[in-house]
Amino acid sequence: MNTMTKTGSGLKGQDFLTLLELEEETLSALLSEAARLKASPIEPVLAGKTLAMIFEKSSTRTRVSFEAGMLQLGGHALFLSNSDLQLGRGESIADTAKVLSGYTDAIMIRTFEHSKAEELAKHASVPVINGLTDLYHPCQALADLLTIKELKGDFKDKKVVYIGDGNNVAHSLMIACAKTGMDFTIACPEGYEPDEAVRLKALEAASQTGADICVTHTPQEAVAGADIIYSDVWASMGQEEESLKRLKDFEGFQVNEKLMTYAKADACFLHCLPAHRGEEVTAEVIDGPKSAVFRQAENRLHAQKALLKMILS
């Protein structure tokens, strides 16, 4: 039986649920390790280790990047959908956590309610990684930071602007900026602001780094002086029934070539993907010379490998 306990310095043996768990020094070390692994991808330091991957939400980037990452680190990943687990027949999260802890070295979950990830972590004796919940997407934020560092050299005096819904991606990006000292502004329609409890947590983190956290309803004002402009779909997974309403509510919040002119001349565009061209972003922007979305997508692999290595080795 696996006997790993959630103790130790840095990230070793620790859960990764929100990004708030990482101290500034640990986050910096993780990003440096991600860059090193990107340059030298095959490093079998996790030989004999197994990652259980629970998917209650479908995925392209999360599944492939974690599975490929474990392989490149010498370990193995198990894809587990609801139909593969007794969760789909009513077994509790607690029982699932205890069983998987006896078989594997870590558990990644991609699900809806954030409380499920917290419950899993509470009862698992091995580290739990949040691959996405409705409240946070911290693995995406790690890739975002790695990409911004590659594009801009460092985080000093940088401004990141998110245009769209105050969702899980916005929450984790806001925390990532707060942790690294970058100014963060979200421009969203009224009623689509970030969760207030999450915003307060980001503000607390920002108080330690000097980052500025702002919420506005005017995209043109938001992107003034921006180094990075970021967007996501207007209707996330599980919100499909709201698509028509959201299309109307988000009129004027599309990232297009005109909006990009309000930012710095060397501003770059990021998107967590999948993207709906013609809705939250035009094809001219996402497929244009200022876009780094496919570098950003690739960086999910490298950032998560660094995370896995620091947690498991």
CATH of the domain at 116: 3.40.50.1370
Q: Is 104 annotated as a binding residue?
A: no
Q: Is residue 9 part of a domain?
A: no
Q: Is there a single domain that holds both residue 62 and residue 45?
A: yes
Helix (H, G, I), strand (E, B) or coil at 304: helix
Same domain, 99 and 155: no
Domain check: are 156 and 83 in the same one? no
Quick one: which of 16, 78, 62, 71 has its CA closest to 44?
A: 71
277 and 233 within one domain: yes
Catalytic residue among 114, 123, 137, 302: 137
pTM score of the predicted model: 0.95
Whether 246 and 156 share a structural domain: yes
Q: pLDDT by residue for the chain (313 residues), tens digit each? A: 454 456 545 799 999 999 999 999 999 999 999 999 999 999 999 999 999 999 999 999 999 999 999 999 999 999 999 888 988 778 999 999 999 999 999 999 999 999 999 999 999 999 999 999 999 999 999 999 999 999 999 999 999 999 999 999 999 999 999 999 999 999 999 999 999 999 999 999 999 999 999 999 999 999 999 999 999 999 876 667 788 999 999 999 999 999 999 999 999 999 999 999 999 999 999 999 999 999 999 999 999 999 999 999 9
Structural domain contains residue 188: yes
Q: Give the pairing type, strands 106-110 and 76-81.
A: unpaired
d(CA 280, CA 148): 21
Decide if 11 is inside a domain.
no
**Domain count of the chain?**
2
Residue 213 lies in a domain: yes
Residues 147 and 280 in one domain: yes
Shared-domain flag, residues 53 and 187: no
From residue 6, how far is each of 94, 107, 117, 224, 280 by CA, in Å?
16, 13, 15, 44, 40
- Is 63 annotated as ligand-binding? no
DSSP H/E element including 303 = helix 293-312
Backbone angles phi, psi at 186, to 5 degrees: -115, 130
Range of the domain at 188: 140-296
Q: Is 89 annotated as a binding residue?
A: no
Looking at the structure, tell me whether residues 129 and 79 fall in a common domain. yes
> Same domain, yes or no, for 145 and 161?
yes
Is 138 labelled a binding residue? Answer: yes
Q: What is the DSSP string of 4-53?
A: --S-SSTTTT--BSSSTT--HHHHHHHHHHHHHHHHS----TTTT-EEEE
CB within 8 A of 298, min separation 6: which ones? none
Same-domain status, 193 and 275:
yes
Whether residue 260 is contained in a domain is answered as yes
Residue 61 sits in the same domain as residue 193 = no
Catalytic residue list contains 89: no
Q: Of 14, 15, 134, 140, which residue is the catalytic one? A: 140
Task: Note whether residue 19 is domain-resident.
Answer: no
Assess whether 155 and 105 both reside in one domain. no
Q: Does residue 279 sit within a domain? A: yes
Asked if the structure places residue 8 within a domain, the reply is no
